[in-house]
């Protein structure tokens, strides 16, 4: 329109209101009765009656057909047939009311912007979407071509820029990638006087998704399995597009194992399979689940573990009352603070730390409540007993009687296998005393120093 206005200002000198009135009066006098009056700069409609080599003939209702020269058709030379077909209605601008032969001279090129403004004004009023090609970009957004007009899509109205990307990709790089793409847009502002056209991709997407959501909600049913794509992540869960509408996979429905944040399980863009838990037509909400498509790990836990069994577990979290440990994916138990150590402790961190692998004894299994009681203290105690059981037999320490399995002076009494079993003193074969150099055979009581507690006396 700016080009048109400048062209008009070059072609005609400034006129006063009285000059316009005089021209109109002259035009009316020169126009035969029954024919419409046209003026230079008018945008009119007509019907193509002939497509020639160098021009189009258009019936605009005047006594003679109007002419559209080839250079005003908007197509390359020699391809005039691509501009219009016989019988087609076109919109053109009057460049000259009448030439020497009595024909009006029209331009399709100069009318294109006018036609675009009219259409865009109508689209804004009806709220319909329009397809447009991205031709350029700047720091503020995308520049698109809409019916020959340059429109602008601000950064805040571009859908792709609202989604996170991997790496350090800049906004400029993402805008550059969008050049040449065809996008769906809604007109949000039309100002012909200021030559201003603002459009929104986000508004068009929201409208389309609203239609898709209504359709999808009618189709979805509880228990269905759907494939979808993770579109966004929040602290309370992940949103998954299941065919035109987003459903929510709540944090508790992401995995059978405890989940600290949804990003630990899924990422934006992941293709996932979900189970439909419920559909709320009134609130237009869809509840989904990831974990329920897999078998409940607690279902057969008693077939894999028994009370008293010692297993290896990884410490996952510390609390003031104990430590949580994972014995297998999705199976986590609690080591109460009283089961961490034989000694009294103030906090579990003084015994274990997150990520540590430790032996634990299963002391309680509650499948219905999904609870597992573990003990580090008992597992270590049994490990110590097993280690001691593998040591050589050790005797002596004090004169008090002890039976097999009792402890004395830091050594466990183990039942002997000699003829003097009743006295707990085996026969010793030809051993030489390191201090005296005396070799002897017999019981401990016969050894130099008697039963005084070992070599060299007590």
CATH classification of the domain holding 271: 2.40.50.140
Whether the pTM exceeds 0.75: the reply is: no
**pLDDT tens for each residue of 336-376:** 999 999 999 999 999 999 999 999 999 999 998 889 999 99
Secondary structure (H, E, C), 309-357: CEEEEEEEEEECCEEEEEEECCEEEEEEHHHCCCCCCCCHHHCCCCCCE
Same domain, 101 and 129: no
Same domain, 19 and 102: yes
Same domain, 71 and 145: no
Same domain, 6 and 101: yes
Same domain, 140 and 230: no
User: Could you tell me which residue, 243 or 27, shows the higher pLDDT?
Assistant: 243
81 in helix, strand or coil?
helix
- Is 164 a residue whose pLDDT tops 90? no
Question: Where residue 244 falls among pLDDT bands split at 50, 70, 90?
Answer: confident
pLDDT of residue 35: 54
- Could you tell me if residue 216 is inside a domain? no
Burial 352-366 (b: 16+ CB within 10 A, else e): beeeeebbbbbbebe
Residue 426 CB coordination number (10 Å): 16
Number of structural domains the chain divides into: 5
User: Could you tell me which residue, 447 or 176, shows the higher pLDDT?
Assistant: 176
Measured between alpha carbons, how far is 197 from 157 in angstroms, rounded to an integer? Answer: 14
Same domain, 310 and 368: yes
- Could you tell me if residue 392 is inside a domain? no
Same domain, 20 and 82: yes
Same domain, 103 and 21: yes
Same domain, 11 and 97: yes
- Could you tell me if residue 257 is inside a domain? yes
- Cα 453 to chain center, whole Å? 74
What does each C-alpha distance from 1 to 44, 196, 300, 397 come to in angstroms? 16, 11, 76, 111
- Could you tell me if residue 77 is inside a domain? yes
pLDDT of residue 308: 92
3 in helix, strand or coil?
helix
The range of the structural domain enclosing residue 374 comes to 301-386
**pLDDT tens for each residue of 62-72:** 888 999 998 88
* Count of all residues that appear for the chain in the document: 458
In this structure, of 14-23, 92-101, 207-216, the range with the lowest mean pLDDT score is: 14-23
Q: Could you write out the DSSP letters of every residue in 91-111?
A: EEEEEES--TTS--EEESHHH
Asked if 254 contacts 267 with a C-beta cutoff of 8 angstroms, the reply is no
- Could you tell me if residue 119 is inside a domain? no
Domain boundary among 73, 107, 141: 107
Question: Where residue 33 falls among pLDDT bands split at 50, 70, 90?
Answer: very low
Mean pLDDT, range 265-269, rounded to an integer? 92
Question: Where residue 203 falls among pLDDT bands split at 50, 70, 90?
Answer: very high
What does each C-alpha distance from 83 to 51, 73, 74, 80, 93 come to in angstroms? 9, 6, 7, 5, 15
396 in helix, strand or coil?
coil
- Could you tell me if residue 86 is inside a domain? yes
Asked if 363 contacts 392 with a C-beta cutoff of 8 angstroms, the reply is no
Same domain, 144 and 56: no
- Could you tell me if residue 193 is inside a domain? yes
Same domain, 261 and 350: no
Among 285, 205, 293, which residue's Cα sits nearest to residue 239?
A: 285
Same domain, 305 and 359: yes
Measured between alpha carbons, how far is 174 from 192 in angstroms, rounded to an integer? Answer: 30
Alpha helices (runs of H) in 31-74, residue ranges in sequence order: none
Q: Which two tokens stand for residue 434?
A: 């390191």
What does each C-alpha distance from 59 to 35, 46, 84, 99 come to in angstroms? 12, 5, 13, 16
- Could you tell me if residue 217 is inside a domain? no
Among 123, 95, 85, which residue's Cα sits nearest to residue 38?
A: 95
């Amino acid at each position: 329109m700016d080009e048109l206005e400048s062209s008009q200002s070059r072609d005609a000198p400034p006129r006063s209101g009285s000059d316009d009135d005089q021209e109109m009066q002259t035009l009316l006098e020169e126009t035969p009765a029954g024919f419409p009056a046209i003026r230079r700069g008018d945008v009119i409609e007509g019907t193509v009656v002939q497509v020639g080599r160098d021009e189009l003939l258009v019936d605009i209702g005047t006594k003679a057909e109007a002419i559209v020269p080839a250079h005003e058709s908007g197509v390359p030379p020699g391809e005039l047939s691509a501009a219009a077909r016989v019988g087609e209605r076109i919109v053109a601008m009057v460049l000259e009311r009448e030439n020497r032969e009595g024909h009006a001279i029209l331009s399709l090129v100069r009318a294109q912007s006018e036609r675009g403004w009219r259409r865009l004004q109508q689209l804004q009023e009806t709220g319909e979407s329009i397809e447009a090609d991205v031709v350029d970009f700047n720091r503020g957004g995308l520049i698109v071509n809409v019916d020959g007009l340059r429109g602008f899509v601000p950064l805040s109205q571009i859908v792709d820029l609202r989604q996170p990307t991997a790496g350090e990709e800049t906004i400029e790089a993402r805008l550059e990638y969008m050049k040449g793409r065809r996008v769906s847009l809604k007109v949000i502002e039309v100002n012909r006087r200021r030559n201003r056209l603002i459009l929104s991709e986000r508004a068009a997407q929201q409208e389309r998704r609203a239609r898709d959501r209504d359709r999808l909600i009618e189709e979805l049913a509880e228990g269905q399995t759907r494939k979808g794509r993770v579109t966004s992540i929040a602290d309370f869960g992940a949103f998954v597009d299941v065919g035109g509408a987003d459903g929510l996979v709540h944090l508790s429905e992401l995995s059978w194992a405890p989940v600290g944040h949804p990003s630990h399980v899924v990422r934006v863009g992941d293709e996932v399979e979900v189970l439909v838990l419920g559909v709320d037509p009134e609130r237009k909400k869809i509840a989904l689940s990831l974990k329920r498509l897999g078998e409940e790990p607690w279902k057969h836990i008693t077939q894999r573990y028994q009370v008293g069994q010692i297993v290896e577990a990884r410490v996952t979290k510390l609390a003031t009352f104990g430590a949580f440990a994972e014995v297998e994916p999705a199976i986590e138990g609690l080591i109460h603070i009283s089961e961490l150590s034989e000694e009294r402790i103030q906090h579990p961190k003084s015994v274990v730390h997150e990520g540590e692998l430790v032996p634990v004894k299963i002391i309680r299994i509650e499948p219905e409540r999904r609870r597992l009681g573990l003990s580090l203290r008992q597992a270590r105690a049994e490990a110590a007993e097993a280690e001691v059981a593998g040591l050589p037999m050790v005797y002596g320490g004090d004169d008090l009687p002890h039976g097999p399995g009792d402890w004395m002076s830091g050594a466990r009494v183990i039942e002997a296998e000699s003829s003097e079993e009743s006295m707990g003193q085996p026969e010793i074969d030809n051993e030489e005393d390191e201090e005296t150099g005396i070799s002897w055979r017999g019981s401990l009581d016969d050894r130099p120093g008697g039963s005084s507690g070992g070599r060299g006396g007590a």
